[in-house]
Amino acid sequence: MTITTAFTELIGCRLPIQQAGMGAASTPELAAAVSNAGGLGMLTATSDDLSADIDATVRAVSGRPFGVNFLMPFFDRALLDAVAPRVPLVEWYWSQPDPVLINVAHDAGALAAWQVGSVDEALAAVDAGCDLIVAQGIEAGGHVRGTIGVLPLLDAVLDAVDVPVVAAGGIGTARGLAAVLAAGASAARIGTRFVATLESGAHPTYKQALVAAEAADTVVTETYSVWWSDATHRAHRVLRSAVEAAEALHDEFVGDVSGDGEPFPIPRFAVRPPNRGTRGRIDTMALYAGQSVGAVRAIVPAAEVVRELAEGAETLLRGVESATKPSA
Ligand SMILES: Cc1cc2nc3c(=O)[nH]c(=O)nc-3n(C[C@H](O)[C@H](O)[C@H](O)COP(=O)(O)O)c2cc1C
């Protein structure tokens, strides 16, 4: 199936669904599964080996588009220079949009996007040259930049800019996708639902905690700020149970994680969410989750999430169209 919007036309995909870049959850398997299902899969520049991730994704998607997300507190300019010529889309989050960086993407032939949390940031992103922007509401899982809900933000951003706008935050169902498309978004960015998929690199205990949680079980906090370099903006949405479990502990370290080298210890309140290689008190770590978490019912293949959202949204939007068509 196909749902055509300004986003799908710009990106060259079939469906208006973008998977959020999400640290170690965003494996090449996840990005490829989303892109192959018709959406836009995203890798993350915080990966241990982004170059290998890009190789694996390129092999798996046979020409379909995907992107790379840079989270500014961990930004590496040399990595951007290396990556931009290899991917269709480069995207940033968590700082004022920077025209110098956007030019690097454009000069390399990539599209450029910025996730923003306010109308001012949206305007700055467009002024800086972005081809599309992501408007993130306070319902979102992970770090949250703004203070208002996705619908009022989307409304104001759509009035202010003329590039395609992707809506993010708390969207986990076909109704949510249909709502933001009907409101004028060109796509929805989905995070939490894709953490709870077979292909995501999140720790299995984290995925199960998402299955068990409801929308009211998340909280915006500054609890998990160890290793986060921005002292002025630290807000993030996580499962409340994780905050409570971490606060009840008094240990300096809550576990360790192995990457390519020796395992290294994870301090209590570290910003890093648990992945497949993490051991220890997973329940106390940064279990990022949006208000969309109520829609997580099981750990399923990512393509199933894409299909569920797209097919359901298409049916709903067709219903809206016939219900609102003036009678002859
Ligand atoms: C586990 C997790 C990690 C995230 N990491 C990033 C990141 O590295 N870069 C980024 O731009 N956004 C990140 N986000 C935020 C997403 O881009 C997006 O705004 C959010 O997931 C949307 O809300 P939802 O989770 O309700 O779908 C993360 C979100 C989650 C849940």
Q: Does the pLDDT at position 25 exceed 70? A: yes
Average pLDDT over residues 268-293: 97
β-pairing verdict for 218-221 and 236-239:
antiparallel
Q: Which two tokens stand for residue 135?
A: 């408007």
If you take atom 14 of ligand 1, which residue's CA is the nearest one?
A: 142
Instruction: State which amino acid sits at residue 269.
Output: F
| Phi-psi group of 227: left, alpha or beta (phi > 0 → left; psi -120 to 50 → alpha; rest → beta) | left
Q: How many Å from the N-terminal Cα to the C-terminal Cα in the chain?
A: 30
Ligand 1 centroid to Cα of residue 142, in Å, is 5
Ligand 1 centroid to Cα of residue 186, in Å, is 18
Q: Does the pLDDT at position 220 exceed 60? A: yes
Task: Give me the residues paired with residue 142 across strands.
Answer: 237
Which pLDDT tens digit goes with each residue over 63-107? 999 999 999 999 999 999 999 999 999 999 999 999 999 999 999
Q: How would residue 321 be classed by pLDDT, with cut points 50, 70 and 90? A: confident
Q: Residue 327: its pLDDT value, please?
A: 59
Average pLDDT over residues 292-319: 97
Q: Does the pLDDT at position 311 exceed 90? A: yes
If you take atom 28 of ligand 1, which residue's CA is the nearest one?
A: 142
For residues 18, 19, 23, 25, the Cα torsion angle rounded to the nearest 10 degrees is -170
**Candidate of 121, 138, 143 to mutate for ligand 1, largest count of ligand atoms within 8 Å of Cβ:** 143
Q: Residue 152: its pLDDT value, please?
A: 98
If you take atom 15 of ligand 1, which residue's CA is the nearest one?
A: 142
| Phi-psi group of 70: left, alpha or beta (phi > 0 → left; psi -120 to 50 → alpha; rest → beta) | beta
> What percentage of residues in the chain have a pLDDT greater than 70?
99
Ligand 1 centroid to Cα of residue 10, in Å, is 22
Ligand 1 centroid to Cα of residue 322, in Å, is 35
Ligand 1 centroid to Cα of residue 23, in Å, is 9
Q: Which two tokens stand for residue 205?
A: 């205990």
Provide the 8-state DSSP code for 54.
H
Ligand 1 centroid to Cα of residue 128, in Å, is 23
One-character DSSP codes across 166-195: EEESS--SHHHHHHHHHTT-SEEEE-HHHH
Between CA 142 and CA 191 the distance in angstroms is 9
Asked if 102 contacts 129 with a C-beta cutoff of 8 angstroms, the reply is yes
Ligand 1 centroid to Cα of residue 256, in Å, is 23
Between CA 97 and CA 304 the distance in angstroms is 34
Domains detected in the chain: 6-198+298-324 (3.20.20.70), 204-292 (no CATH)
Q: Residue 328: its pLDDT value, please?
A: 52
Q: Which two tokens stand for residue 10?
A: 């710009």
Residue 225 CA, distance from chain mean position: 19
Which pLDDT tens digit goes with each residue over 155-181? 999 999 999 999 999 999 999 999 999
Asked if 168 contacts 191 with a C-beta cutoff of 8 angstroms, the reply is yes
Ligand 1 atom with minimal separation from the 93 CA: 11
Q: Residue 52: its pLDDT value, please?
A: 96
Q: Which residues line ligand 1 (CB under 6 A)?
A: 20-23, 25, 44, 69, 71, 93, 115, 136, 139-142, 168-171, 189-192, 195, 273, 288, 290, 292
Q: Residue 183: its pLDDT value, please?
A: 98
Ligand 1 atom with minimal separation from the 70 CA: 9
Least confident piece of the model among 106-110, 251-255, 319-323:
319-323
Asked if 194 contacts 302 with a C-beta cutoff of 8 angstroms, the reply is yes
Between CA 130 and CA 180 the distance in angstroms is 21
